[in-house]
Amino acid sequence: MIEPGSTSTMTYTVPVQRTVPHLYPESDEFQTVPEVFATGYMVGLLEWACMRHLDETGHVTDEQISVGTDIRVNHTAATLPGQVVTVEVTCTSVDGRVVNWDVTARDERDVITAGTHQRAVLDRARFLGGLHKKATEVGVDPIS
């Protein structure tokens, strides 16, 4: 199980497909921004690092899933395609099914973000059941 104070580090080389113009290719506004690591993808990278930490510590079983419930970060420096981003996550607390982290990411030159992230560990079958019910109620195809 995950313990407060435990840390892990993850690295990621930014491809051009994770830059701002690729976030929403249908957006004319995004097309005017240079090809730098998009904040939306950066947030996903932070979540991925926390998910990986949960998996590596055995905190999430095959019958469970973790979902992001809160993220509070800033994006303070641009990162170019080809640069390596190093993410460090530190578990700050575990309260029942809720796990909290401090998160930091930097490229070779700058700290690009720092803040906090929270994930909830849920029963996978129950979560998927709720999604199927919602899909039926709103008339969209259920997820698999």
Known catalytic residues are 39, 47, 75
| Enclosing H/E stretch for 121 | strand 111-123
CA distances from 54 to 30, 61, 107 (A): 33, 9, 23
What is the full DSSP assignment across 8-64? EEEEEEPPGGGBHHHHSTT-HHHHTS-S-B-HHHHHHHHHHHHHHHHHHTT-S-TTE
